[in-house]
Structure 1
């Protein structure tokens, strides 16, 4: 949005001011002053030391006048002279240049001459930062990422995800305890300061744009909440793209037949842990009571357990029939699918034997 332009200066007054400056300083001396005033505030350095000409982030608030912008730039060490800035910007007005200075956050270097800096703000070339949320991340992982990137503390994000903005996103399920599963994984651009609320709004808006139409246009046997929850479990189980539909179909068949899903990621989520090849889930952990333990609780988990990507959402919308009831992870991302418990037990022994050979 535009910043207020200065007003009240007639062409005659501005030209008179320029003449007076020249007369006061003396012809050649006045010209030298002007060249020095619009020159870069620092010279570029190519030494191994931190550069004095490094770009500085400068916030131009909405409603700033041209004079206020010049004062901000002088305070930040971006320009040498506010007088030169004012004369330059007034001269630009005389040229009837279309547009105006733009509010926003800018990366400005004191090694750039004053006209180049003014042009950057006039054209609105604001800083564009980005953050990336991969598929399958939990809210906790997102929070830790934002903190590591220096955006805001993890706990602030965690707290913000418990504030359900149904006033702006009325499609969010009722009685949702947190936004797990609805923060769409993607890369997002932003200008200025990133807050938990801004990040959440961007991710919810992307879910609304990308994921919501899939459910609205498809015929799913699941409620909206069930669909996202199933997709989140598929997301955590599937690594190989081609296996997502099969994994979703196995879970769908188990749900229809009342067989527990027995999905390791749900146990991990409930316990707040992550198993590895070196430290797999123990029998005690698999049997530990938790609303998210799908070994001992039939049906889906109370809420999604991660952020499902588009492929998992599509695979989980209306899974097809399958002859499989089981699958066993190979630790390389692929799975062995089995029809019977006997086949599944054989697959387990095969994976254990393979792991023993590798060690």
Structure 2
């Protein structure tokens, strides 16, 4: 029967059905576009969301809606269902996220699906001790200083077999650098692993590249003292040369930073080391003890490591610091005493 021969009632019923179907489809499409659209146009606003381990997709959707990051939890459930149809999974990863309401629902969901967790960045300057690091991490709100100082005493030689034997802690082997780590992984162990891996990446090739009169531990220890003494970059290699010559001739290093480390103090221009402090016995006191201290006293950077492994030849045996960070170098003790008088005056 020809379409134009249909009874009018049936014709109008079919026509109405297709109109309703088209309007419904258009309405659904309009609703969907609005449901997944960004909540806000502000690109500067970032909202932190904590997704706990084991959270369901519905729980995450409710949290996103409560924080005004998505328009509809129904649209969120539909989006998750479409993922399941597409690749048979709708897994969402736990962690801390910084999300923007200027992103659409699929964009926000994809960040959580891919685990693009909130990262944190920290910088450890050259010459810092593990105690300074601990205090810094506490100030950043990662964990307590005590937690970090306890963790650096756990020597994992299975994971890091290159670490020297019989060291009581990791002082000197936590490489100074700028690091980025997922915020929810900012634990003492994770950060220590990150820094030890960086030390192995930077320092081990330097030591293995040439013959050295020092053991691995002696080399890092010497580099840490050079790092603490050298304020001006141009003087670093010369300072390394002086220390190498003193060790070669059996002289005590007489380095202030070793005394400071042993007493857990830090001298300043206003409060310099006293004679009593210099004469206080300590395994780290290189005024009283010959040779190198038992461990490094800080974290040396790459230049100090390189200069300490291959120091230049020098006739200097002494140096004394000016108040601007530079030093006066001397070949004899008499010249050294005169340099000290000049600075004091």
1:283-329 deviation per Cα after TM superposition (whole angstroms, max 9, x unaligned): 11111111111001111011100000000000111323210110010
- TM-score, scaled relative to structure 1: 0.81
Q: Does 1:152 align with 2:143?
A: yes
Cα 1:273–1:125 change in 2 (3 A) is same
Q: Does 1:188 align with 2:179?
A: yes
For the 8 Å contact 1:42–1:110, the answer to whether it is kept is yes
Q: Distance in 1 between matches of 2:160 and 2:295?
A: 18
Equivalent residue runs for 1:209-358 within 5 Å: 209-353=201-345
Q: 1:128, CA displacement in angstroms?
A: 2.6
Match of 1:78 among 69, 74, 77: 69
Query: Where does the alignment leave 5 or more consecutive residues of structure 2 unmatched?
Result: 1-19
Equivalent residue runs for 1:126-165 within 5 Å: 126-165=117-156
The worse-fitting range, judged by mean Cα deviation, of 72-81 and 227-236 is 72-81
Q: 1:99, CA displacement in angstroms?
A: 10
Number of equivalenced pairs: 323
Q: 1:30, CA displacement in angstroms?
A: 5.1
Q: 1:92, CA displacement in angstroms?
A: 5.8
1:106-158 deviation per Cα after TM superposition (whole angstroms, max 9, x unaligned): 21134543233134345654433211100000001000000001111111000
Q: Distance in 1 between matches of 2:236 and 2:225?
A: 11
Q: Distance in 2 between matches of 1:45 and 1:249?
A: 54
In the alignment, which residue of structure 2 is the partner of 1:56? 48
Q: 1:192, CA displacement in angstroms?
A: 3.1
1:177-207 deviation per Cα after TM superposition (whole angstroms, max 9, x unaligned): 0000000000011113200001100000000
For the 8 Å contact 1:101–1:124, the answer to whether it is kept is no
Q: Distance in 1 between matches of 2:79 and 2:289?
A: 72
- Name the SS for the 2:202 alignment partner: helix
Q: Distance in 1 between matches of 2:323 and 2:89?
A: 59
In the alignment, which residue of structure 2 is the partner of 1:116? 107
- Output the aligned Cα RMSD: 2.9
Q: Which has the larger radius of gyration?
A: 2
Cα 1:97–1:60 change in 2 (3 A) is farther
Query: Where does the alignment leave 5 or more consecutive residues of structure 1 unmatched?
Result: 1-21, 47-52, 354-359
The worse-fitting range, judged by mean Cα deviation, of 124-133 and 297-306 is 124-133
- Name the SS for the 2:183 alignment partner: coil
Cα 1:107–1:177 change in 2 (3 A) is same
The worse-fitting range, judged by mean Cα deviation, of 125-134 and 280-289 is 125-134
- Name the SS for the 1:204 alignment partner: helix
Q: Distance in 2 between matches of 1:45 and 1:189?
A: 23
